[in-house]
Structure 1
Amino acid sequence: MSRPYQSAAMVTMERFLKLRAVKRNQGREHKIRVSEDGHRCSLDQLIQTLTGKKTALLLQDGAFFSGSTPLSLDASVSCGQEIVYRRRAWVEPAIPAEVQIIHCDDSLLVVEKPAGVPMTPSGDFYCNSLVHRLREALNEKDLSPIHRLDIETSGVLIFSRKRSERGTLQRQFQSGNIQKIYHALVFGHFDPRVKRLHGRFEKGQSRRIFSKWGAVSSGGKKCVTEVLSVQHGKVASLLHLKPLTGRTNQLRAQLSDAGHPIVGDKKYHCDEEVYLDWIEHRNIQRLIHKLLLPTQALHAWSVTIQHPVTQDRCQFTSAMDLPDRFPGAAGIFPQFQRLDP
């Protein structure tokens, strides 16, 4: 296995990078193109099909337009039509004041992504996404992530600093020429004899949660994950996982399908009412007795890639372990044993 990366060309930078959060943004515009092979429907039907959200709730914060014409809920939309949603300015959620730097050179920036901060604009986060804040802090408009982590997932996140090298790096993830290791705390006693999770998954298998991925017997996307180690606690198991494919929500969907959803994961909890309640009320205290933790216990512990310039095999390892994220919840975790990088 590759050793943690050290380079003579490392750029001098503070261990922690200050982030200047935006309290209130100036609004945002979303463009939606109606599918050419779809059929005529109402605006309300279109938005609920695409997002799973109630259109009436979106209208409380903004308005839909076709060109300069405002659209009502029952407005008819047709194939190929472009719809624009203009959301009024809003107060964004707070984000950490700084982010830890794991590595920086002329080509790469590797950071410790905090849980609860989206990589790119999402939901109520727009200006306060990690990409926006890092671009501003470094004054680098070409800074771009080469892989993705969910908003509640913490850990190693790699950015390309040069547009000319971005494609080379992203193709490594698409071709599987990378290695990622995650820590996940899951409900129940995970069978240590299980060494691999595999199956086919497809989005939209739940009638109640449109964005959720579920197992299918045919079609869908192949998902394969190696289980490197299992440690048992009283109510949960701590897993070290190596995904061999890189699908959206792969670990969350696979573990939920195996009967061991990730602790704190609202969308893939065995009771779908948990996620629906969260969407409606956004009150974690209503759900903590079912979730046990306020955010999903998933951590990207290490990522190994090929450097775009030196061609060295580089392993970047997190400075923290998953239990470090939840210092007040030691009783939920098994006795932690760190794997060697």
Structure 2
Amino acid sequence: MKSPLPVRNGVNATRLRLPQDGPWATAMEYVLERFGHVDSIGIMNRFERGEVRALSGTIVTPDTPLAEHTFIWYYREVPPEVRLPVELEVLHQDSDLVVVDKPHFLPTTPGGGYVAESALVRLRNLLDLPELVPIHRLDRMTAGVLLFAANPDTRGKYQQLFEKRAVRKRYEAVAAVRPELDLPRVVNSRMIKSRTYLLAQEVEGDANAQTHVELLQTSDDGGGTLGRYGLEPHTGKTHQLRVHMAALGLGILNDPFYPTLLPQAADDYAKPLQLLARSIAFTDPLSGRQVEYRSGRQLSAFPPA
């Protein structure tokens, strides 16, 4: 369903499904009972200003009966956000595709306490592209190459590349070195992640996650030997690279989740997760050309010689 409200300040309107019946006479009464504990005055003001719309674009007023519409759209009141001290870089832009070099700590899309401070919203505002959408995602703590579709008419062709695994993604990570570990190797396991549990887990069963791991370089700064690893995921499970590295006894440096979940703490911008999406390569579905986009970032724990 296409939202009847345009993107505003880089942020999509929120869609809400209404119940067909219940003790609420109007749509506004239902919304107030569900979300009034957060901002009852703001909710009433949005209805009174005519900012709540049905699928057809009809204004949903404070008196609109509950059952008159199944879905409504409205703008969330976004609280002020402190700008994250990180910047993204545009690597490529044309009428169909935008490729960026995402920094650590910046989420791909709005979520939780990050709305304006997401790569998507920043780019929509920076490039004046309200229809921009991500083709894939990177964890907030992971930096590197990230693709966005700029044209709704060609978006599906790029999305299909990822669905068909026709994209070659290469990552780099910094972790300790285990001399006894036989590398390179392919790690296969079955991974699951529930919506109610923070971490991904490896479980018994047929493998659904596969990662090629190799040691590219080592460095000894006197505090121990570190390795720069090349990682190539052949599947795309949540936290796959972090879980597979931890399972090898090679927990990625500065990872607060794996192998041990650390207490929640404020971001330490001096110690980003040492994981970088170095490159993405594929055959462009529009031009037919082989393309590769590479991150220019370096992992701070393993600077170039």
TM-score (structure 1 length as normaliser): 0.63
Residue 226, structure 1, aligned to residue 212, structure 2: yes
CA distance in 2, matches of 1:106, 1:72: 42
User: Which residues of structure 1 form unaligned runs of 5+?
Assistant: 1-21, 34-64, 74-81, 327-331
Instruction: Determine the structure 2 residue equivalent to 1:317.
Output: 294
Report the AA paired with residue 199 of structure 1.
Answer: S
| Structure 1 residues 32 and 195, CA gap change in structure 2 (3 angstroms) | farther
Deviation at 1:124, TM superposition (A): 1.3
Q: Is the aligned partner of 1:69 residue 2:44?
A: no
**Residue equivalent to 1:216:** 203
From the superposition, tell whether residues 298 and 31 of structure 1 become closer, same or farther in structure 2 (CA, over 3 Å).
Answer: farther
* Deviations, residues 63-109 of structure 1 (Å, cap 9, x unaligned): xx954325899xxxxxxxx9xxx987533231357532212222211
Whether 2:124 is the aligned partner of 1:160: answer: no
- What is the Cα deviation at residue 187 of structure 1? 3.4
Which residue pairs with 1:252 in the alignment? 242
**1:204–1:214 contact (8 Å) kept in structure 2:** no
- For 1:133 and 1:94, how far apart are their aligned partners in 2? 10
Q: Please list the CA deviations of residues 241-271 of structure 1 after superposition, one character each: whole Å capped at 9, or x if unmatched.
A: 1111122211011112222211111122x33
Structure 2 unaligned spans of 5+: 1-8, 19-28, 38-70
Per-residue CA deviation, residues 260-301 of structure 1 (Å, 9 max, x unaligned), is: 211111122x332x1xx21xxx3457xx9xxxx622111011
CA distance in 1, matches of 2:214, 2:208: 20
Q: How does 1:114-125 map to 2 (within 5 A)?
A: 114-125=103-114
Q: CA deviation at 1:30?
A: 8.4
Tell me which of 120, 127, 146 is aligned to 1:138. Answer: 127
Equivalent positions of 1:24-63 (< 5 A) are none
Q: What's the secondary structure of 1:164's corresponding residue?
A: coil
8 Å contact kept, 2:213–2:230: yes
RMSD between superposed Cα atoms in Å: 3.4
Which residue of structure 2 aligns with residue 237 of structure 1? Answer: 227
Instruction: Provide the rounded CA distance (Å) in 2 between the counterparts of 1:202 and 1:155.
Output: 25
User: In structure 2, what is the Cα distance between the partners aligned to 1:195 and 1:302?
Assistant: 20
**Take 1:88 and 1:243, find their aligned partners in 2: how far apart are those partners?**
38
| Mapped contact 2:209–2:237 kept (Cα < 8 A) | yes
Checking the alignment, whether the CA contact within 8 Å between 2:96 and 2:155 is kept in structure 1 is no
Please tell me whether residue 265 in structure 1 is matched to residue 252 in structure 2: no
Aligned to 1:53: none
% same residue? 26
| C-alpha distance in structure 1 between counterparts of 2:257 and 2:106, whole Å | 17
Who is 1:298 aligned against?
A: 275
Q: Between Structure 1 and Structure 2, whose CA radius of gyration is higher? A: 2
In 2: Cα distance, 1:260 partner to 1:30 partner: 42
Contact 1:301–1:321 at 8 Å: present in 2 too? Answer: no
- The answer to whether the Cα contact below 8 Å between 2:183 and 2:215 also exists between their aligned partners in 1 is no
- Cα distance in 2 for residues equivalent to 1:317 and 1:181: 9
Provide, for residues 114-161 of structure 1, a one-character-per-residue CA deviation record: whole Å limited to 9, x for no partner.
111111002211122111111112211221111111111111111111
8 Å CA contact 1:194–1:227 kept in 2: the answer is yes
Which fold has the larger relative contact order, with Cα–Cα distance below 8 Å and residues 6 or more apart in sequence?
1
Q: 1:189 aligns with which of 175, 178, 185?
A: 178
SS in 2 for 1:305: strand
- 1:90 pairs, out of 71, 75, 79, with 79
